Chain A
Amino acid sequence: MKPVLEVRDLMVTYPARRGAAPARAVDGVNLQVGQGEIVALVGESGCGKSTLARALVGLVKPTGGQVLSDGVPLGYSAAALKAYRRHTQLVLQDPGGALNPRQNVFDAVAEGPRLHGLTDRLGERVHTALAKAGLRPPEQFAGRFPHEMSGGQQQRVVIAGALALEPSVIVADEPVASLDASVRGEILKLILELRDSLGLSALVVSHDLGLAWNIADRVAVMYLGRIVETGTVEEVLLRPKHPYTRALLSVLPDSGEPPVLLTGEPPDPTSVPGGCRFHPRCPLRAAEQDSRCDGQDLPVLTGDPSASSLAACHLVQ
């Protein structure tokens, strides 16, 4: 399966403020999204998952490595980015903030096509996009303003705006985090339907492992700028290898296992520990006392989608 979207050895380093060390937000990541595939990228806040999502749509220029779309490296000229974004669209977390309160639904959805000069039969394009996003009948919604709609409907408008350009890939950053429980499932259903009916590929960024179980084919677990475990959802979530993935799964309310509480907060990308970057918090290392954990750096995971699971850990190979 040829990846429609791929990153190779991606690095994003934010420059330091006076005196501080630069933040290595994304610190060597390989990841592929295949045609019609849904990949979930999960991790705690500060792990670099949102920076990675922004780099994927060209909003952040990587300081190292490449983003490839259909095998072609992404160019960073204004024209190249504009062309690229017709095919790869970003859906943001908070629909209330992503929509202009003074713009009605029609104009919000038409903004993309207008920017790309697709004004031929614009009305039809907008209505089709609204209908695909589940706002039916579209005529009823086109004239509304964001404040006249519920959170779930607003998120559907944001998704319709992305669909209006007929993209092949959607990058969604926490698409349901700000929505109510009963609406959450409806939006996730929509993403699955879009994959089935349009063959859309998606990378969904979330802190929620349940979301990965609900909609994703493959999952990548990110910790401090690196992917520490990746593979099929079944393999990673049911038979986790990496101690970090295991800890994340154990603290879910109905995991059925005693929770492994990691001490401390997610660490700081301005001071990435040497050796395995998880070693200061790792419960497995505390038990095994292996010298490689803090002495030997781990290679970056290849992100090979044919492997059922890969884990970056000295102790569980």
Chain B
Amino acid sequence: MTATDQSHAPEERAAVPMLDVRDLRVNYRGGGRTVPAVRGVSFTLDRGQTLGVAGESGSGKSTMALSLLRLLPSSAQVTGQVLFEGEDLLTAKWARLRAVRWSAASVVFQGAMSALNPVRTIGEQICEPILLHDKVGQKTARARAAELLDSVGLPSRRLGSYPHEFSGGQRQRIMIAMALACRPDLIIADEPTTALDVMVQAQVLNLLGELVRESGIGVIMISHDLSVLSHMCERLAVMYAGQVAEIGPSKQLITEPRHPYTRALGRAFPTIGDPASRLAPAGLPGDPPTPSELAKLNESRGCAFEPRCPEATDACRTETVELWPSGPGREAACLRVLEGSGA
């Protein structure tokens, strides 16, 4: 009896994932034209899972992440479904959305310097979401803020300090402390370490990794650095031109990428000691599509990566490309994948 109950419970949880994103599309409207930034992205994420989203600037990765909590400007038109605990956040009332932000899902933004208020102490800033969402007193909030600061490796006596009194790495840690303030189930980290030095980046990533392991939070981490993501996240989604080019377990995506773009991104960051990359930097000719090219892509058939693809064939220009299963738990949007499974 108990055994069946136990086996039943995770099944039910698996049936309704914490986050279920379905066919998410974002269009920016302005100047009489429409620019599609995200063109149909779907994925799921459960508690305790980590998903890395990689891509170049303009690939739509940040737009995608921010649209999940409707943090985009009003010029952005978002369609599709973002089911958080079964509830669609894209159609939810503002009051409901405000309740979800911070307490259920929070964001670690890219530039800690501009995301923190320079004229308020960090203690006040960490307390603010706690006071608003958890309906506790000033004193409890203060104590929680001190605890949080301590958990990110900063002395709690610095609660009265202002953002400019901290270094870049410390500010990024304060941002993480704030994101954890209301014990959320989901954290969206948008390039959390991009502006930091290697050593400080390692410290921050280490901290984030520990906190996730301890608390079982779900994490979506956005970065342009595939090697950082593969180290931090179990699963990886590579975005190109507003779509997912390949998604699957991180290790497999790095060691045996099925999409030529994943392969190129992986090679862009060399492994020191690998003779193949010594005095041989690997790049990818051409540039990612510009906004106007993206608008055209939306109307035409063919693979968005085809103009830069070293393995493109005639079929790549004419066939519609979508995500196809390319192995257990992974998918790739490349015609080659179909050839592979056919053989």
* A residues neighboring B (CB under 8 Å): 44-45, 150-153, 180-189, 192, 207-210, 213-215, 233, 237-238, 247-249, 251-255, 259, 261-262, 265-266
- Since A184-B283, A249-B272 are in contact, a sample of 13 more A-B pairs with Cβ atoms closer than 8 Å, ordered by chain A residue number, is A44-B200, A152-B287, A153-B287, A180-B288, A181-B225, A185-B268, A188-B283, A213-B272, A252-B227, A252-B272, A254-B227, A262-B199, A265-B167
Q: Does B249 belong to the interface (CB within 8 Å)?
A: no
A181-B226 contact in complex given A209-B272, A238-B273, A259-B206, C-beta closer than 8 Å: yes
Chain B 234-278, CB-CB to A under 8 Å as 1, else 0, gives: 000000000000000000000000000000110111111100011
Is A251 in contact with B202, judged by CB distance below 8 angstroms? yes
Is B197 in contact with A180, judged by CB distance below 8 angstroms? no
* B residues neighboring A (CB under 8 Å): 56-57, 167, 169-170, 197-203, 206, 224-228, 230-231, 264-265, 267-273, 277-285, 287-288, 290, 308
Is B273 in contact with A237, judged by CB distance below 8 angstroms? yes
- A197 CA to B103 CA in the complex, in Å? 59
Residue of B nearest to A213 (CB): B272
Q: Which of A184, A207, A215 is within 8 Å of B198, CB to CB?
A: A207
Residue of B nearest to A187 (CB): B283
A181-B56 contact in complex given A214-B279, A247-B199, A248-B198, C-beta closer than 8 Å: yes
- A7 CA to B234 CA in the complex, in Å? 47
- A183 CA to B282 CA in the complex, in Å? 9
Complex interface: chain A residues within 8 A of B225 (CB)? 181
Q: Which of A45, A181, A192 is within 8 Å of B224, CB to CB?
A: A181
Complex interface: chain B residues within 8 A of A255 (CB)? 272
Q: Least Cβ distance of B59 to chain A in Å?
A: 9
Complex interface: chain A residues within 8 A of B264 (CB)? 182
Is A261 in contact with B197, judged by CB distance below 8 angstroms? no
Q: Secondary structure of the A side of the interface?
A: helix
Q: Least Cβ distance of A243 to chain B in Å?
A: 13
Is B278 in contact with A213, judged by CB distance below 8 angstroms? yes
Q: Which of A184, A188, A254, A261 is within 8 Å of B202, CB to CB?
A: A261
- A131 CA to B293 CA in the complex, in Å? 26
Q: Least Cβ distance of A169 to chain B in Å?
A: 19
Is A214 in contact with B224, judged by CB distance below 8 angstroms? no
Is B228 in contact with A214, judged by CB distance below 8 angstroms? no
- A291 CA to B36 CA in the complex, in Å? 63
A182-B265 contact in complex given A207-B198, A248-B199, A249-B272, C-beta closer than 8 Å: yes
Complex interface: chain B residues within 8 A of A185 (CB)? 267-268, 281-284
Residue of B nearest to A150 (CB): B287
Q: Which of A183, A184, A207, A213 is within 8 Å of B197, CB to CB?
A: A207
Q: Least Cβ distance of B228 to chain A in Å?
A: 6
Residue of A nearest to B284 (CB): A182
Complex interface: chain A residues within 8 A of B287 (CB)? 150, 152-153, 183
What are 7 A-B residue pairs whose CB atoms fall within 8 Å in the complex?
A44-B200, A153-B287, A182-B308, A185-B283, A210-B271, A233-B278, A253-B230
Residue of A nearest to B228 (CB): A253
Residue of B nearest to A191 (CB): B281
Complex interface: chain B residues within 8 A of A252 (CB)? 198, 227, 272
- A251 CA to B197 CA in the complex, in Å? 11
- A99 CA to B269 CA in the complex, in Å? 27
Is A192 in contact with B281, judged by CB distance below 8 angstroms? yes
Q: Least Cβ distance of A138 to chain B in Å?
A: 17
Q: Least Cβ distance of A156 to chain B in Å?
A: 11
Q: Which of B269, B279, B285 is within 8 Å of A215, CB to CB?
A: B279
